[in-house]
Chains A and B, each alone.
Chain A
């Protein structure tokens, strides 16, 4: 008599979590799974034109197998784009996160004057939309308009640095804030104890604050890696101003070009799947490498 009742209750309890999950699952299915599925579908197709390709029915969509993937992986321009983005990303990551850490530590140190104002002014560029920021910097870079004099900021040698500068300018504030907030949550007693033991401010920063910050640094690094892999706004906005940025400068620009400039949605779909794959491997690879350090306590 008791066991069926128990079973029923367990069954009801089992349904409730799913009920709560349902909205999230529905949204995920609609706006994530479905588009990804459609992209995969498109990536396996191609157009087939007969004759001149003019008029009705001259263009049909056919199954292409993995041909688009083979073409995407075999295109040297995609890998050249990756190399450019890796160089750019290394610059951005090192500078942006380095600066963010230094600023966060400085702001957290007790005796900084005007801390509030400094914090806001460092954070402010993050509020400027990427396109606006890039255009503004673009104008500053153009030799005949630049207030910095006639330097070739957009020449082939310097363009990567100029672009990284825009990203660093825009992103440092956000990362600083993440680290700074984390620092403020640390009990002050740690520092007091360290001071009683004779530690200097620098020693506290290096031996106490940075180790405490490691999980946050990892988090901001993962976010930054993902953002860098997806770099699109800066080069696309700067491109009309200079002849040193090609239409395939970054992998995502190649996807945009294939889909909307040269009208090959299918290749673009395949290339974006390849990019998504690499991006996943990079992010999870990084997390795996640092897993023990970051989440060792949990």
Chain B
């Protein structure tokens, strides 16, 4: 009896020790000490702010494999609000260890001294990314401020069925796009080829990148700001002309009205990024299987350029007490084949890692009519060009929304709106004391 009882007790203790070791999230130091005498401090605990869907499932895979580094996901709303929240938390001194950082916001995080330099920890990871993407996390400096996660090369989403109905070809140049816009609107005044969104500065930035814009650049020890460069003014005037003519609509993206227009077939194209299928499938479920993708129309026939809309990276907070562990997780998440597979499957992410493309085999469900979706996307992605983002993108993007809100409502000069973006950006940088090149 006594032996039996002892055996039961021993088994129970062993089971507890094992289960705490496996489940990882151990709250009891005693269980931890029993299973891991070498590290009496217990596992490193990291918090991670992200808005990638199902990230908790992906993190579970990591937590099971790494009992010594336990990551907890805190789901964020995403976009500009998430960036503001992180900057505020960093300023208040209690940021998360890891944060999803959109490429355009990364310089602001760096300028606020909110993210850590991961150069030493990411020496191996560098080879996994194209030079263009890597430049977005180094900002052209010697430091590495994040590990790239996904990218958003832009392409033209169009309604294949309605293009046939209205008898228009897929436009190869922006001139053809303008002609098509006029043709469609003539045939049915309620229908538009597209809409210009005054709420999406990232979209406009991507279109400007395609045209060759360089909103910010670093020369020596000074910033050069050229939001109003010729390429950007060309893009703005083009869309401004079409909005004024009344052949391109002025409703913003991601609004209930936009959803309705997509579902009703009153919008025929959407120049968007590779993450478009996720948006379309949730915002326009009725049009499943009716959309297709093509390269963005070009400014000059025969050219082959695209830009980036969105895309983000995983950064480590400068104030995190466990930077090395956090960098290890960030590298795993964005370069490990298992993690990339999960990001694609669970998170609907288009990985920035060059390994990612090989893992994308099956077209998104929404695009089941286009089996070579990922092949096309990869070809287009190879033509995308970006630019360096400055340290006050928040100011520039806010100026975009205010200036283009007014310009679209009044159908006034879009180039003037670009000028006010430039003025707001420069004024803010001068006020803070940044060195500006002329």
Q: Tell whether, in the assembled complex, residue B252 and residue A54 are in contact, meaning their CB atoms are under 8 Å apart.
A: no
Report how far A109 CA is from B218 CA in the complex, Å: 75
Interface of chain A residues 228 through 269 with chain B (CB within 8 A)? 240-241, 243-248, 257, 260-265
Q: What 0/1 pattern do residues 40 to 75 of A give for CB contact below 8 A with B? A: 000000111111111111110000000000000000
Per a CB cutoff under 8 Å, which of A46, A52, A142 touches B222?
A52
A54-B84 in contact given A243-B409, A247-B402 (Cβ < 8 Å): no
Q: Tell whether, in the assembled complex, residue A59 and residue B113 are in contact, meaning their CB atoms are under 8 Å apart.
A: yes
Main secondary structure of the interface of A (DSSP, over half): loop
CB of A121 within 8 Å of the partner chain: no
Contacts of A261 in B (CB 8 A): 80, 84, 394-395, 398
Q: What 0/1 pattern do residues 168 to 189 of A give for CB contact below 8 A with B? A: 0000000000000000000000
CB of A144 within 8 Å of the partner chain: yes
Q: Tell whether, in the assembled complex, residue A145 and residue B107 are in contact, meaning their CB atoms are under 8 Å apart.
A: no
Q: What 0/1 pattern do residues 221 to 253 of B give for CB contact below 8 A with A? A: 111000000000000000000000000001010
CB of B355 within 8 Å of the partner chain: no
How many Å from the CB of A70 to the closest CB on chain B? 12
Contacts of B87 in A (CB 8 A): 260, 263
A-contacting residues of B (Cβ < 8 Å)?
Answer: 80, 84, 87-88, 91, 107-108, 110-113, 139, 141, 143, 198-199, 218, 221-223, 250, 252, 254-257, 260-261, 391-392, 394-395, 398, 401-402, 404-406, 408-409, 428, 432-435
Q: Tell whether, in the assembled complex, residue A52 and residue B218 are in contact, meaning their CB atoms are under 8 Å apart.
A: yes
Interface-central residue, A53, A156, A241, A262, by most chain B CB under 10 Å: A53
Interface-central residue, A49, A54, A55, A240, by most chain B CB under 10 Å: A54
How many Å from the CB of B307 to the closest CB on chain A? 23
Report how far A42 CA is from B153 CA in the complex, Å: 41
Interface-central residue, A243, A244, A245, A246, by most chain B CB under 10 Å: A243
CB nearest to A245 among chain B residues: B405
Report how far A208 CA is from B248 CA in the complex, Å: 61
Q: Tell whether, in the assembled complex, residue B434 and residue A49 are in contact, meaning their CB atoms are under 8 Å apart.
A: yes
A-B residue pairs, 3 tightest by C-beta: A243-B405, A260-B84, A49-B433
Contacts of A145 in B (CB 8 A): 256-257, 260
Contacts of B398 in A (CB 8 A): 247, 257, 261-262
CB of A285 within 8 Å of the partner chain: no
Report how far A244 CA is from B199 CA in the complex, Å: 11
Per a CB cutoff under 8 Å, which of B143, B252, B392 touches A262?
B392
Contacts of B252 in A (CB 8 A): 240-241, 243
A241-B256 in contact given A49-B111, A54-B107, A246-B406 (Cβ < 8 Å): yes
CB of A28 within 8 Å of the partner chain: no
Q: Tell whether, in the assembled complex, residue B112 and residue A55 are in contact, meaning their CB atoms are under 8 Å apart.
A: no
Per a CB cutoff under 8 Å, which of B80, B256, B260, B405 touches A244?
B405
Q: What 0/1 pattern do residues 135 to 148 of A give for CB contact below 8 A with B? A: 00001001111000
- Cβ contacts A to B, 10 pairs, < 8 Å: A52-B435, A53-B391, A54-B111, A58-B113, A59-B112, A142-B255, A261-B80, A261-B84, A262-B394, A263-B392
A51-B221 in contact given A241-B257, A263-B394, A265-B91 (Cβ < 8 Å): yes
Per a CB cutoff under 8 Å, which of A49, A56, A260 touches B432?
A49
Report how far A242 CA is from B141 CA in the complex, Å: 40
A240-B108 in contact given A49-B434, A51-B435 (Cβ < 8 Å): no
Contacts of A263 in B (CB 8 A): 84, 87, 108, 112, 392, 394-395
Contacts of B409 in A (CB 8 A): 155-156, 243-244
CB nearest to B218 among chain A residues: A52
Report how far A262 CA is from B405 CA in the complex, Å: 18
Report how far A261 CA is from B88 CA in the complex, Å: 10
Contacts of A265 in B (CB 8 A): 91
Q: Tell whether, in the assembled complex, residue B257 and residue A54 are in contact, meaning their CB atoms are under 8 Å apart.
A: no
How many Å from the CB of B76 to the closest CB on chain A? 14
Report how far A160 CA is from B395 CA in the complex, Å: 26
